[in-house]
Amino acid sequence: MTKSFTRMYAVFLRQVYLYRETPIRFFQMFVWVLIDLVLWGFISKYFSQSAVSPSGIVTILLSAIILWGFLNRVYQGLIMFFLEDSWSRNFLNMFATPLKLYEYVAGFVVSTIITSAIVFAVVIPLAYVMFGYSLLTLGFSLVPFIIALFIFGVSIGIFSVALVLRFGPVAEWFIWPVAAITGPFVGVFYPISTLPEWMHIISYALPPTYVFEGMRAVIGGGAFSFSNALTGLALAFVYVFISYITLSCVFRIVIRNGQIARFGTEAL
């Protein structure tokens, strides 16, 4: 029995050492709880103050869930393609060929377009069959909404790839909640007016804010705002440009210092 407890203690001690050597693991421990706390706190505040009818709230929630799920599908789909190369130790092999970085990224983006379109094509009719709601009722406004969310999802995906490439696989602890962290700021389930003033600065710097604010306006019977849609699209393109430049710089650094040859063993 004593030996059994000793072995159990050894397993426990191993985890203690992992957290001591990799403090970023503490971030993963708390981030999801904090995101849920903030997100549902503002949702509760919005519902308690809202004069929207129950059917209107259901419509808003279903639209937000589908669009937010689309953004997350784009983001997770892109980083999963990269992480699979990382986990299989195939990343270095890819660049032992004449493959260029932009070709590598473009291949990911095309793959993500296809997989996201398949998911979207399944979710929309499923929502109609189960709840009698179709996202297509948003009409023409759905097009810029989807494009802005897709481009922003690609941008945070590329930036996350840059983080893992620079700091090693341990950075995976940080990248999974990246998209979720933006959720409370962009007003997925509630208007930005629900947030405190200091959060507005961050909110209006993020493209999804204009998507979800525009979505609620259209569902509420208001006019589609071309200016807001263009602002969201322009910001999304700025983010994807910055993300790709960041990835290019990181890629040159890991090539120059030889880190790419040791990729998979580096620690943050």
Query: In the chain, where does DSSP find H-type helix?
Result: 2-21, 24-49, 54-87, 91-94, 101-131, 142-167, 172-175, 178-186, 197-203, 207-219, 226-256
Low-confidence ranges of the chain (pLDDT < 70): 1, 21-28, 51-56, 258-268
pLDDT recorded at residue 154 = 93
Query: Would you state the torsion angle of the CA atoms of residues 135, 184, 157, 90, taken in this order, to the nearest 10 degrees?
Result: -110
pLDDT recorded at residue 1 = 62
pLDDT recorded at residue 22 = 66
d(CA 255, CA 204): 36
pLDDT recorded at residue 17 = 72
d(CA 162, CA 95): 16
Confirm if 175 and 76 have CB atoms less than 8 A apart: no
d(CA 48, CA 150): 32
pLDDT recorded at residue 264 = 52
pLDDT recorded at residue 119 = 85
pLDDT recorded at residue 253 = 87
Global confidence as pTM: 0.84
Q: What is the pLDDT of residues 111-133, one digit of tens each?
A: 888 888 888 888 888 888 888 87
DSSP states of 131-192 as a string?
HS--GGGGGGGHHHHHHHHHHHHHHHHHHHHHHHHHH-GGGHHHHTTHHHHHHHHHTSSS-G
